[in-house]
Chain A
Amino acid sequence: MNQPVIDLSPKVSDEVRKTTCYMCACRCGINVHMKDGKVAYIEGNKDHPVNRGVLCAKGSAGIMQVNAPSRLRKPLKRVGERGSGEFEEIEWDEALQIAADWLEPVRQSNPEKLAFFTGRDQSQSFTSFWAQNFGTPNYAAHGGFCSVNMAAAGIYTMGGAFWEFGQPDWDHTKLFMLFGVAEDHDSNPIKMGIGKIKARGARVIGVNPIRTGYNAVADDWVGITPGTDGLFILAMIHCLMKAGKIDLHYLAQYTNAPVLVINNPGGADHGLLMRDENGKELVIDRATGKLTPFDQPGVKPDLAATYEKDGQTHRPVFHQMAEMYLDEQYTPENVADRCGIPAKRIRAIAAELARVAFEEAFTLDHEWTDFRGEKHAQMIGRPVSFHSMRGISAHANGFQTCRALHTLQILLGTVEVPGGFRFKPPYPKPATAHPKPHVGLTPGAPLNGPHLGFTHGPEDLALKEDGTPARIDKAFTWENPMSSHGLMHMVISNAYAGDPYKIDVLFMYMANMSWNSTMNTRGVIDMLTDKDENGDYVIPKIIYSDAYSSEMVAYSDLILPDTTYLERHDCISLLDRPICEADAAADAIRWPVIEPDRDVKGFQSMLCELGAKLNLPGFVKEDGSQKYADYGDYIVNHERRPGIGPLAGFRGENGDQAGRGAVNPKQLDQYIANGGFFVEHIPAGSNYYKPWNMAYQDWAVNIGIYDKPTPYLFSLYVEPLRKFQLAAEGHGDRQPPDHLRARIKDTMSPLPIWYSSEEDNHAADYPVTALTQRPMAMYHSWGSQNAWLRQLHGHNPLYVPTRLMRENNLSDGDWAKVTSPHGEITVPVLEMAALNDNTIWTWNAIGKRKGAWALEENAPEATRGFLLNHLIHELLPPKGDGLRWANSDPITGQAAWFDLKVRIEKAAAPAESQPGFAPIKSPVGQGPKDLTWKVGT
């Protein structure tokens, strides 16, 4: 038989350009294969610390993203009414002049009239620097509606949380427990880790109402009742404490469990930690029985000893924990019904955690010295690790639930030990090492410091002299005192209401606020288009930057088109959210592997230009000329502190210094030659026990992460929470409004608690929980414009558990009306058995507005796709007290997306998913009919 002769070694590409993916927030390294100057194929970079060569569906579909017909082409000026999609293309000179003409008077008169919010920005250290130089207090990115509860709870408790803060010790862990992780957050690293540990037979436990993705491959699935994770965790803490299956040595040496709590009922210091004159927490030393600062050489803090003074008995934190968590309310039997998990199963999981943490403990032969100067011959490993993200964060009890999870990890002694959870530089970094929020504004001058940070008591709140909120989003106020990431989801409704004040310019980047990135979509559209009695828009001017024709474009007055991710400079910076690993500091760049074929500018490069036009101090030279030609120039030449810039690699005149070093004009070339990233490994022996390991602390100082060693204790007891409670009890000058006192006292417990938000969401009348997840093959709304990815997720059914299907006489393909206290939708349903039987869910951000994303108007995304956002309001339903309470966590302001309660019933099939919206006119037309893509010949 004659086989045809085929070419087994065709030329793969002319050149490989290595940069960083931007199809989600994982920031994997990619090899972009070029043919004839065009992108021919994208694969993972095998040398890259994040993804080691693998790449997800989104990353592999990048070629359809950089060529998407929905790309904006030129600056646009609105000429019709807002929402009409009527625009005129203008030149950049005119566009930047319009922006400057709007912004300059705001800056000179009252900079707070600019609200600058940057959505899914990966350059926050740069955009915040711009906003700070402008002088507005109103800056944040999207953390407030994403996972600030996880980040803030982690940082307050232990100096870091999951994902970019840390990772399981994939090489040693034997039991990996996931809480509330949807299909992303993060993506490839978690998949790689799960694959790795399953290959060696480790057990994976998935806690999630929905059994898809990571939970589908978990060995054990706990289909928990949404919003009760905290109660489940506290029940396991109850079991572990009761059995003494906690790491007492670890708790005594490395946490504030032994720190004495002041007992002075009714006093202004009741419940604060006992400190010496230098502010150091005090413990009783087991050896001497004496009161001593926790950090003295040789001190063995006593978890049990109490201290008598002035007729009062002061007890250590650990006493309070024992009292609180050994209480009957946390027995598995008492939480089982509420959590939807049998008591025996809760006990079995707690027992398995105990067994693996203590019976399978092991040691690594690394000598190390702790911050008290004590030398340890070995490192004790406890091979239990956890990971969690938005599933437990996006609830009104999310902050305390995340705190409970961190407390569980710490009680088991599994944080920063072999086999457990490990921080990634620049973490560990305690809340006290972060900035505090700054809102001090001066017309025509920069803000007095960074916008976002961590409050440590009422004195740090962002309030004006009259006590009203200083920020448009009311971050860092009594309504949400620890809102470390701001509250982007409240900006439009607050600006519309003029509460706390009116603004003049709303300037946004990469945030689809008139569609999937907002609660109450219909209401927000109305706010964006409503006019006052003079016929002027209530929100007067809106500037928006995006690379694509998203739904938000039509609601903006001036569009500044951004580039795609392969046409731009970026830095994945240690000053921001870097790509470090537990064993290494790392950062990376994006660089223009192709030039734009449209008249667009990278958002950050545009801000360099606009900043100079506005004469912002950080953006002009002494002679008043533009300081940074573009973002690439900024990345290389900007110094945050002497010798510390956006990139840590290839510093110094010769590019041979890591971390600290002079500006290197060839830095970007050296990154490109190195594959687009830089890695500096942490020496063995320094890479565990980092918060207390002096070798790590010294290494971190050397590389510029700290300016001095900063060892600290984990805060099982978070004292700042207690300070807010004291204010609510009437202590101190800064006092909360009376209507918030009870809530602050109830929710801001310094030890983790659990509370229900069911009543606030009218669960008696709306008994079913409705959730969303993001599919692994889509990123936010971007996937819809991707010709390959939209074949995987072109529309999103409502997944309904078998019980609710039967009760409502539903069959696959039927339509159901879903009603919440706020609104209703009518959508197609599909049965799913591997689902909590009182939970319905759908994929997030698949539904599209007709006319957006260059899709044809009859695209399934618009006709059968839908958003749950229509059912969710930024405020809770009225309680009858005359007030409207935010639908968010009362501590951080995190949007409580996952507290949504609904009813479901069968409905006659409408022609399309409801509510329907009129098409918006596409500023970029529609995509081509068919594709036969091949760039090579």
Chain B
Amino acid sequence: MTTLPAKTDKKLGLVIDLDTCVGCHACVISCKGWNTENYGAPLSDQNAYGADNSGTFLNRVHSYEVQPPGDAAAQLIHFPKSCLHCEDAPCVTVCPTGASYKRVEDGIVLVNESNCIGCGLCAWACPYGARELDQAEGVMKKCTLCVDRIYNENLPEEDRQPACVRTCPAGARHFGDLGDENSDVSKLVAERGGMDLMPEQGTKPVNKYLPPRPKDEMPEFDVLAPFLEPVAEEPKGFLGWLDKTLEKL
């Protein structure tokens, strides 16, 4: 049993825009690259060139088809998912060794790999499936919010953000302090109706998702009809109209 801090100074997290995520997996691979080379053990791959290949990822994109009611066209929503750095993180409280912890200064949930015994309880406790046991190292891996980038004095200031945010081509990922209501990310959440993932779990996730805008809602032609009012019914009439219009030019 590991305790959570009563309060954190900041609530650093991600805001992910489901309206613009095109499902390209740039964030997935950029994360894999950074975190293979950096924090803790490398993210390993098994059967890398064979059947049943698998590997450790801290961030994955799932795609869901949505069928709206009625005869509206089906939609495809791309849904990137990584640790949500919950305020009431069940993965921390379940940890028997204290390896999982939530940082007091910024709320990032981390695994201290040297204390992790790979028991998997945290993965079981996490309702989001955001933790993966690395098969080579036998320790639990999870999103670090690139804790080794965001404060890294060896990086230019503009690069001090998680790898997934820096690389996202569609600009669908945002990073900041969700505990500060004046931060850009908090304002974005307020403007766009940002949502918690599975709030009923009571985990109080810090990461927020911006919902897709309504789709296939172009006004009916009746509304737009004035923009296509014919100038004449026949080609000859059209050319007559053209003559008159050209005079005005």
- Which residues of A approach B to under 8 Å, CB–CB? 1, 3-4, 6-12, 35, 40-44, 46, 51, 53-61, 63, 69, 183, 187-188, 191-192, 194-196, 198-199, 203, 205, 211-214, 216-221, 223, 239-245, 248-249, 252, 286, 300, 302-304, 318-319, 322-323, 326-327, 344-345, 347-352, 354-355, 358-359, 776-777, 785, 787-792, 794, 832-835, 854-856, 858-860, 863, 926-936
A351-B224, A777-B25, A787-B49 as given contacts; A934 in contact with B169, CB under 8 Å? no
In contact, B224 and A60 (Cβ under 8 angstroms) = no
Partner of B45, one of A53, A352, A931: A931
Shortest distance in angstroms between B66's beta carbon and chain A's nearest beta carbon?
A: 8
Partner of B36, one of A223, A327, A926, A933: A933
* CA distance in complex: A535, B19 (Å): 62
In contact, B74 and A243 (Cβ under 8 angstroms) = no
Residue of A791, A855, A933 ringed by the most chain B CB atoms within 10 A: A791
In contact, B22 and A217 (Cβ under 8 angstroms) = yes
Partner of B22, one of A239, A776, A794: A776
Collect the chain B residues with CB atoms within 8 Å of residue A223's CB.
Answer: 73
Collect the chain B residues with CB atoms within 8 Å of residue A345's CB.
Answer: 221
In contact, A787 and B26 (Cβ under 8 angstroms) = no
Complex interface bits, B6-32 against A, C-beta within 8 A gives 1, otherwise 0: 000000000000011111111011101
Confirm or deny: B185 has a beta carbon within 8 angstroms of a beta carbon on chain A.
no
* CA distance in complex: A192, B239 (Å): 43
In contact, A833 and B74 (Cβ under 8 angstroms) = yes
Confirm or deny: B172 has a beta carbon within 8 angstroms of a beta carbon on chain A.
yes
In contact, A213 and B22 (Cβ under 8 angstroms) = yes
In contact, A351 and B221 (Cβ under 8 angstroms) = yes
A183-B24, A191-B170, A195-B169 as given contacts; A243 in contact with B231, CB under 8 Å? yes
Partner of A856, one of B19, B51, B103: B51
**Extra 8 A-B pairs, beta carbons < 8 Å, given A791-B54, A859-B50:** A9-B154, A54-B166, A205-B218, A219-B217, A347-B224, A352-B218, A787-B49, A788-B55
Interface of B is mostly: loop
In contact, A350 and B228 (Cβ under 8 angstroms) = yes
Collect the chain A residues with CB atoms within 8 Å of residue B110's CB.
Answer: 6
Q: Closest 7 CB pairs between A and B?
A: A927-B49, A351-B224, A833-B74, A191-B169, A856-B50, A195-B171, A195-B170
In contact, B245 and A348 (Cβ under 8 angstroms) = no
Confirm or deny: B186 has a beta carbon within 8 angstroms of a beta carbon on chain A.
no
Cross-chain pairs A/B with CB under 8 angstroms, 14 sampled? A9-B148, A42-B33, A51-B169, A195-B20, A212-B23, A217-B21, A242-B232, A245-B227, A304-B243, A350-B228, A789-B29, A834-B65, A834-B74, A859-B50
In contact, B24 and A787 (Cβ under 8 angstroms) = no
In contact, A242 and B228 (Cβ under 8 angstroms) = yes
Interface size on B, residues (CB 8 A): 95
In contact, A788 and B242 (Cβ under 8 angstroms) = no
* CA distance in complex: A347, B223 (Å): 11
Confirm or deny: B93 has a beta carbon within 8 angstroms of a beta carbon on chain A.
no
In contact, A212 and B76 (Cβ under 8 angstroms) = yes
Collect the chain A residues with CB atoms within 8 Å of residue B22's CB.
Answer: 183, 191, 194, 213-214, 216-217, 776
In contact, A12 and B167 (Cβ under 8 angstroms) = no
Within 8 A of A (CB), among B38-59: 38-39, 41-42, 44-51, 53-55, 57
A195-B20, A217-B19, A934-B42 as given contacts; A303 in contact with B227, CB under 8 Å? no
Complex interface bits, B47-86 against A, C-beta within 8 A gives 1, otherwise 0: 1111101110100000001010000011111100000000
In contact, B23 and A213 (Cβ under 8 angstroms) = yes
In contact, B76 and A834 (Cβ under 8 angstroms) = yes
In contact, B151 and A8 (Cβ under 8 angstroms) = yes
Collect the chain B residues with CB atoms within 8 Å of residue A248's CB.
Answer: 242, 245-246, 249
Shortest distance in angstroms between B138's beta carbon and chain A's nearest beta carbon?
A: 12
A777-B25, A787-B55 as given contacts; A195 in contact with B172, CB under 8 Å? yes
Confirm or deny: B229 has a beta carbon within 8 angstroms of a beta carbon on chain A.
yes
In contact, B65 and A56 (Cβ under 8 angstroms) = no
Partner of B112, one of A4, A241, A933: A4
A43-B166, A217-B19, A302-B246 as given contacts; A12 in contact with B155, CB under 8 Å? yes
In contact, A242 and B230 (Cβ under 8 angstroms) = yes
In contact, A244 and B241 (Cβ under 8 angstroms) = yes
